[in-house]
Amino acid sequence: MSLETPRGGTPLVLELASVDKTYPGDPPVHALRDVNLQVRQGECLAVVGASGSGKSTLLSVMGTLDRQSAGVVRLAGLDTSALSDEQLAALRARSIGFVFQQFFLLDNATALENVENGLLYTGVSKEERTRRAMAALERVGLAHRQRFLPVHMSGGERQRVAIARALIADPALVLADEPTGNLDTASGQDIVDLLLDLNRQGTTVIVVTHDPTIAARLPQRIDVRDGQIVADSAAQGGRVPGGHRPTLPPPERELARTSRLRTADLARVAAFGLRTRRLRTALSALGIAIGVAAVVAVLGLSASSQARLLQEIDRLGTNLLTVSPGSGMFGDMTELPKTAPGMIARIAGVEHVADIGSTDAEVFRSPLIPSYESGGLTVYATSLDLLSAVGTKVAMGRFLSAATAREPVTVLGAEAATQLGIDRLYPGERIWLGGQWFYIAGILKPAALTPEIDSSVLVGFPAAERYLGFDGHPTNIYVRTQQDSVQSVYQLLAEQAYPESPSSVSVSQPSQALTARAAAKNTFTDLFVGLGAVALFVGGVGVANIMVISVLERRREIGLRRALGATRRLIRSQFLGEAILLSVSGGVVGSGGGALATLIYAWSQHWLVVVPLIAWTGGLAAALAIGAVAGYLPARGAANLSPTEALRAL
């Protein structure tokens, strides 16, 4: 396809042939009827007509913001009806500059940043955009205002910024829609002077206006009435201004170009969209942060608790075995032989053997306590090497000795002491046990592997038999083995403890019970993770809501970006990127908050601080996924907006 060269050898920039534009309805609206127009390179013309005559529709069709219903529109020699959305966007980005009556400047961007947006979708680097934006601002006389926000600029200055934005890509055609409509007379005349000066430098300019004074100043004029061109001064031999006319690129080169947005620019645009609505963004990110923090904290606290428990198991050792009575043939509890501890001590690999026997005695703080308030404490007779076997120590006082084991003397487990209200030992301290006073010799530290010891009151075997009527049969036997002999000893314990009926003996490994308890906590962990997931879901709904509102509020921005060369894909990427950035920001904050909560609580409990990798990565991955899912439909809706409808949005 080649450019036509009518009238004096000047190539055509724009050509409309039998163009119609009809909007569906009942009845349908015929905005344009059989429009024929040729615009040559370097011309400057006014499109004049009353309000509703079709001027803006004509400009939208010329600028490829809207497609004609019938006829042919050629821009730079290309038939626009045969071009894809990607190709049309590339054409707008490089060959058309738009100037709108409402300026359409981004309120929270400086003049320089607004002008840079004119090259945003051409793939030009940030440094090059800045350099050319400064040159464009200098060209319109606003170099000194480059760091100002639009709110701090006059209407005329804002329109100059919009013109600089339109010129930064050095387009073949500038389309201005009522560029003086919102300005006072003096500012409006300045804008016309600027457009005429640009035209003298070789830029093709088309100005849509209803002001005859403005139209009179432009070299050529087209009158539009009821969607038809009723007068065309260029067709009657109007003047073509002189000046340098840059050569238009070949159509093949235009077709090969595509609009694109660098990854860094996409991140910058997404961040800008969130930065302009800080409070709303913070509140939406907070929902994600709470959900992620809950998940990270729950997983972190669970892992820290289990690490502490496993550390305790390692400290206490996994080489403790317990022997206790099992069920007999008829379901009744059996009794361990009195000789069982001695028999077990003969097994190779056994280091310590200790036993305790349950008594029927009740214990109270004093004889004045009612019998029904015993607190469920158990009185055990114990052998003297209990502490070595179960791996605990005395917290205060001393353990039983060969002498005190024969006397009414007792040692309290850690929980039993708390329940009896005894937190320290005084000389002569005693409790009412089995209907008589027993003196307290000591209080034990917690025994993690044998919790029954914690809630027990211990007396010596001889004292239990003498004062409490104990029969001497052990209830539990604790066997501490060499570390590499655990399994071999385990297999022999039942037969050695009760040779006549090994099946009536129960053998267990307390460390396995603790490990099972740690695993049982996972049930509660899963529950709380589920609650965190619910919070994440609610946060995702909040992100989707803010993105829907954002699209509705920013329709004009979407229309502007489409006019600057953004494709549907790039608009979709922008809003999807905003949703993802919003969610990931919340995820990062939530991960940090959850880790901090884990650190503080674990430190207060003297636990190891463990935040599993899955907690960090899972929280951030969940935030990323939620952002993508929550932002997809709003982003798709933004991409499908018609540029002309978006620009007309209130």
pLDDT of residue 253: 54
Cβ neighbors of 391 (< 8 A, separation 6 or more) are 316, 317, 320, 447, 449, 480
Distances (CA, A) of 87 to 71, 79, 121, 257, 321: 19, 11, 12, 7, 79
Position 398, amino acid: R
pLDDT of residue 528: 67
Among positive and negative, which fits the CA dihedral 29, 31, 36, 38?
Answer: negative
pLDDT of 245 higher than 50: no
Q: What is the DSSP letter of 468?
A: S
Position 339, amino acid: T
Residue 579 to residue 631: CA distance in whole angstroms: 5
pLDDT of 650 higher than 60: no
Cross-strand pairs, 229: 224
| Domains of the chain from N-terminus onward | 12-260 (3.40.50.300), 273-312+515-648 (no CATH), 318-509 (no CATH)
Residue 377 to residue 360: CA distance in whole angstroms: 11
Residue 200 to residue 223: CA distance in whole angstroms: 23
CB atoms within 10 A of CB 451: 17
Q: What is the DSSP string of 341-388?
A: HHHHHTSTTEEEEEEEEE----EESSTTS-GGG-TT-EEEEE-TTHHH
Residue 129 to residue 562: CA distance in whole angstroms: 18
Per residue in 275-309, pLDDT tens? 888 888 888 888 888 888 888 888 888 888 777 77
pLDDT of residue 1: 33
Residue 389 to residue 480: CA distance in whole angstroms: 5
Cβ neighbors of 359 (< 8 A, separation 6 or more) are 379, 380, 381, 434, 459, 464, 468, 469, 470
Confidence of residue 521 (pLDDT cuts 50, 70, 90): low
pLDDT of 244 higher than 70: no
* Of 438, 449, 214, nearest in space to 309 by CA: 449
Cβ neighbors of 468 (< 8 A, separation 6 or more) are 359, 360, 361, 379, 381, 433, 434, 459
Confidence of residue 7 (pLDDT cuts 50, 70, 90): very low
pLDDT of residue 646: 84
pLDDT of residue 644: 85
Residue 214 to residue 210: CA distance in whole angstroms: 8
The residue-averaged pLDDT of 617-622 equals 86
SS3 of 336, please?
A: coil
What CA dihedral angle connects 486, 491, 496 and 499, to 10 degrees? 170
pLDDT of residue 332: 64
Measure the CA angle with vertex 334, ends 331 and 339; round to 5°.
Answer: 165
The residue-averaged pLDDT of 341-352 equals 93
The residue-averaged pLDDT of 139-149 equals 91
pLDDT of 313 higher than 70: no
Q: What is the DSSP letter of 122?
A: B
Residue 159 to residue 176: CA distance in whole angstroms: 11
Considering the chain, what is the average pLDDT of its residues?
Answer: 85
Strands 204-209 and 44-48 come out as parallel
Residue 253 — φ and ψ, nearest 5°? -70, -40
Cα 611 to chain centroid distance, Å, stands at: 18
Tokens of 425: 């030992």
pLDDT of 498 higher than 50: yes
Per residue in 412-461, pLDDT tens? 999 999 999 998 899 999 999 999 999 999 999 998 788 899 999 999 99
pLDDT of residue 247: 47
Tokens of 274: 């969130």
* Of 326, 351, 355, nearest in space to 503 by CA: 326
Cα R_g (the chain), whole angstroms: 44
Q: Where are the beta strands (DSSP E) in 41-95?
A: 44-48, 70-75, 78-79
SS3 of 549, please?
A: helix
Sole residue written with tokens 């042939």:
17
Confidence of residue 403 (pLDDT cuts 50, 70, 90): very high
Omega of the bond leading into 27 within 30 degrees of 0 (cis): yes
pLDDT of 246 higher than 50: no
pLDDT of residue 519: 56
Q: What is the DSSP letter of 442?
A: E
The residue-averaged pLDDT of 215-234 equals 87
Highest mean pLDDT among 69-73, 318-322, 613-617: 69-73
- Rounded to the nearest 10 degrees, what angle do helices 555-563 and 85-95 cross at? 80
pLDDT of residue 514: 55
pLDDT of 372 higher than 80: no
Confidence of residue 82 (pLDDT cuts 50, 70, 90): confident
CB 301 within 8 A of CB 293: no
Residue 553 to residue 424: CA distance in whole angstroms: 70
pLDDT of 328 higher than 50: yes
| Proportion of the chain above pLDDT 90, given as a percent | 39
Tokens of 535: 């919070």
pLDDT of 251 higher than 60: no
CB 103 within 8 A of CB 162: yes
pLDDT of residue 278: 83
Measure the CA angle with vertex 209, ends 207 and 213; round to 5°.
Answer: 105
Confidence of residue 513 (pLDDT cuts 50, 70, 90): low
Residue 250 — φ and ψ, nearest 5°? -60, 145
Confidence of residue 330 (pLDDT cuts 50, 70, 90): low
pLDDT of 5 higher than 60: no
The residue-averaged pLDDT of 262-266 equals 86
Residue 325 to residue 358: CA distance in whole angstroms: 12
pLDDT of 530 higher than 90: no
Tokens of 121: 């979708």
Confidence of residue 577 (pLDDT cuts 50, 70, 90): very high
pLDDT of 524 higher than 70: no
pLDDT of residue 145: 92
Instruction: Determine the length of the chain.
Output: 650
pLDDT of 262 higher than 50: yes
pLDDT of residue 350: 93
